[in-house]
Structure 1
Amino acid sequence: MRLSTNMIYQQNMDAVLDGQNRFQATGLQLSTGSKVNKPSDDPLAASQAVLVRQATAQNSQYSVARTFANQNMSQEESILSSVTSTIQDAQTLIVQAGNGTLSDDDRSSLATKLESLKSQLVNLANSTDGNGRYIFAGYKSDTAPYTQDPTTGAVTYSGGDTAITQQVDASRTMTINHTGNQIFDSLTGDAKKEPNGSSGETDIFKTIDGALTALKTPSADYTSDSEYTDAIDKANRGLSNSLNNVLSVRSELGTQLSELDNLDTIGANRDVTNASKLSDLVDTEWTSAISTYTLQQVALQASYKTYSSMQGMSLFQMNS
């Protein structure tokens, strides 16, 4: 086989260019810290790295969602703590109202205090978050869920019927804001029944209104002593049932807040696992890369020297 001068030059040039490419590729690994800088470097590792990065991004999104959920539930729990205290204060007044020796003036004084507690409950029921959204209005959060008739004092709910939920993990969705009727117009399964066996009043505001009516009615207008006592006992049962319902919601919130902490821990561990997987797939193996880089440098220098030597060779010089 005959080798022309041009072919010899081309082969040496190809060897130099190939050495340069491999040397630069290894140098890129060292400078970037990644052994997969383009899909062709390792197609399988590159495709798997995409999946790991997607999983990491999704995990990060759920982490943000849990932070949002934690803030909302913590805020609701804080408000319901105040609601609990207000109901307990109302219960104390109702117990005092059951004293048979109270005069009409005494009852009127208690009614004034109870009206003040009712106003506090209405105000708490219309609580807003830092963005001006009504917490207990469901998805109708742009308007106040509760309105009070200035003449009759009746309280009406006009908020949404669907509680606000948030997906906090791949397979977990939580209620992060309850509706007003879930808080102030619901009873637990073990609620106290009326003496005739019927269910008690579900609406706490109507319960308070019943007590106010009894307190404001003059003693002379009652046909019997038991009529007033029955009304106060009914209010006492109603407030007790409403308090238990609020405590039930608070228990649910507490359980979910604890679960969020566990999910945060799981999410953090998942991040560590994904980071480890991604490192195994694309990170530079420093010992091997440095060794390869040094050997390629020596080989490239040899190629340069060979090519330089070949430039001075030709058939004419060999025949001279």
Structure 2
Amino acid sequence: MFRVATLNAYDKVINTLQKRQQDLVEAQQQLTSGKRVLHASDDPVAAARAERARALQQRSEANQRAVDASKNSMTLTESALGDAGELLQQARELVVAAGNASYSDAQRQDVAKQLAEIRKQLMSVANRGNGAGGFVFSGQGTSQPPFLDAPGGVAYTGTGGQVEVASDEQLPLTFDGRQVWMGARTGNGVFETRNLGSSSAWIDAGRVTDPAQITGSTYSVSFSVVGGVTTYSVFQDGNPTALSGQPYTSGQAITIDGMSFAVNGTPADADAFEITPSAVGLSVFDALDRVVNALKTPNQTPTQVTQAVQTGLRDVDQSLGQLQSSRSLAGETLNRIEGVQARVTDLKLFAKTTESDAEDLDETQAISDFANQQTGYQVALQTYATLQKMSLFQYINS
């Protein structure tokens, strides 16, 4: 015969009551927090998924901050290059005006002063701050303005290269100032023409007629005047070429090895011009300094003024092209940043959705479960109350 003691029945009912109470508390906590998984033990697999999702979300947020920093920096850079381009365009117009044959020395000196003021403004743009204690064109960083205006010319005190953000995407925080402001190619970008001292003739910037024929050699054009007849000879690296003793006509193109250039004016006997390969290293500031100094020099012949203007325009155009290329690069970077931002936003949304799927509560189901838990708990309380009335002593007393 199996006997159930009153104490044993009490214990079972109390255990059930406590279990019901614990379930009710947990259901209430889930409703309050909106989370199905409050502890890893609630659902280890879901908890692990949620933890991985949170880690991905944190990494995405770090990437977002880095992308935002790059976007701010590139926006400042693009704006600075835009300002510099406008200033250099103004300088170009002034150089063109200085070539007016009717200008006096005083008028050309006035143009030189205006160019000097534009140069100062360009210097300010080149040393523009980024709002965070650094400089837009500081390269890999410097605590001082990256461009120093010294007696011998402008020097770059920054560190070459650029800084990139610390993220999954390779995005720049700075531009290499030396490359932007001092990295244009000399001459016309392929070769450079030079006047070696003629005061009665000038040489233009030239052009490339056949890139495949460019040799990279240094050429010189020497003039000879005998009996009132002017001829020229072209030398390649000091050696005679087929162009020897050629009759000279002002402005007529001289073509050799894929290059074409023209000498204008009336060269004197022994006048010479040089054609050298272009090199990287033309500075915006040096280009302006040379034309400013030339325009400030009084008592120049019209030919000397023309040569100064033509050389100045060539160098300004090359510098302007370098600034425009850098601005285009900044613009392309901003476009790429927009794409990166979209990817980072999508990744953050994916991480958030994954975390929500893993541990968030189905409120409709949770409310139903909570109501069931309440009902279960009430039934357990009633059962316990009924059991208390079933003792023999209570029966006798009644």
The TM-score range, normalised by the shorter chain, is: 0.7 to 0.9
Residue 112 (str. 1) matches residue 101 (str. 2): no
Asked if structure 1 preserves the Cα contact closer than 8 Å seen for 2:190 and 2:277, the reply is: no
Whether the 8 Å CA contact 1:16–1:303 is kept in 2: the answer is yes
Does residue 20 of structure 1 match 2:24? no
Query: Residue 186 of structure 1: CA displacement?
Result: 0.8
Is the counterpart of residue 212 in structure 1 residue 292 in structure 2? yes
CA distance in 1, matches of 2:26, 2:374: 12
Counterpart of 1:194 in 2: which secondary structure?
A: strand
Equivalent of residue 306 in structure 2, options 229, 233, 252? 229
Q: CA deviation at 1:138?
A: 2.8
- Of 230-239 and 42-51, the range deviating more from structure 2: 230-239
SS at match of 1:176: coil
What is the aligned counterpart of 2:171 among 169, 174, 178?
174
* 1:193/1:8 CA distance change after superposition, 3 Å: same
Alpha-carbon distance in structure 1 between the residues aligned to 2:10 and 2:185: 92
Distance 1:132 1:318, change over 3 A: closer
Provide the rounded CA distance (Å) in 2 between the counterparts of 1:288 and 1:261. 41
What is the aligned length?
313
Q: 1:291 to 1:131 in 2, by over 3 A?
A: closer
> 1:142, CA displacement in angstroms?
2.0
Pair 1:146-2:144 in alignment: no
Q: What is the one-letter code of the residue matched to 1:198?
A: P
1:25-47 Cα shifts (integer Å, max 9, x gaps): 11221122111111111111111
**Displacement of 1:319:** 10
TM-score by length of 1: 0.87
Q: Residues 317 and 78 from structure 1, CA distance in 2 versus in 1: closer, same or farther, beyond 3 angstroms?
A: closer
**How big is each residue's C-alpha offset from its partner over 1:75-101, in whole Å with a ceiling of 9 and x where there is no partner?**
222221111011111111222233344
In the superposition, relative to structure 1, how do residues 277 and 140 fare at CA in structure 2: closer, same or farther (>3 Å)?
A: closer
Residue 238 in structure 1 maps to residue 325 in structure 2: no
1:238-292 C-alpha deviation (Å, 9 max, x unpaired): 1111111111111111112122222223333333333322222111112222222
- Aligned residue in 2 for 1:94: 95
Contact 2:51 2:355 in 1 (8 A): no
Letter in 2 for 1:301: Q
Shift of 1:179: 2.9
1:229-308 matches, within 5 Å, as 229-308=306-385
Report what 1:34 is aligned to. 35
Q: Which runs of no fewer than 5 residues in structure 1 stay unpaired?
A: none
2-structure distance, mates of 1:188, 1:63: 37
Q: Distance in 2 between matches of 1:302 and 1:120?
A: 86
TM-fit CA distance, 1:305: 1.7
Q: CA RMSD in A?
A: 2.6
Within 5 A, what are the aligned runs for 1:22-101? 22-101=23-102
Aligned partner of residue 147 in structure 1, secondary structure: strand
Matched position secondary structure for 2:130: coil
Question: Among the aligned pairs, what percent are the same residue?
Answer: 27
In 1, the alpha carbon distance for the partners of 2:60 and 2:8 equals: 57
Residue 135 of structure 1 contacts residue 141 of structure 1 at CA under 8 Å; is this kept in 2? no
Shift of 1:212: 2.1
> Equivalent residue for 2:231?
none
Q: Which amino acid aligns with 1:183?
A: V
- Mapped contact 1:94–1:235 kept (Cα < 8 A): yes
Gap regions ≥5 residues in structure 2: 194-274
Name the SS of the counterpart of 1:165 in structure 2: coil
Written as runs of structure 1 = structure 2, the 5 A alignment for 1:304-315 is: 304-314=381-391
- CA distance change for structure 1 residues 297 and 188 in 2, over 3 Å: closer, same or farther? farther
Whole-Å separation in 2 of the counterparts to 1:80 and 1:282? 50
Q: Show the counterpart of 1:124.
A: 125
* Cα offset, 1:5, TM superposition: 2.8
Q: Find the residue that maps to 2:173 and give its secondary structure.
A: strand
Aligned to 1:198: 277
Whichever residue aligns with residue 295 of structure 1, its letter is N
Distance of aligned partners of 1:188 and 1:64 in 2 relative to their CA distance in 1, 3 Å threshold: farther
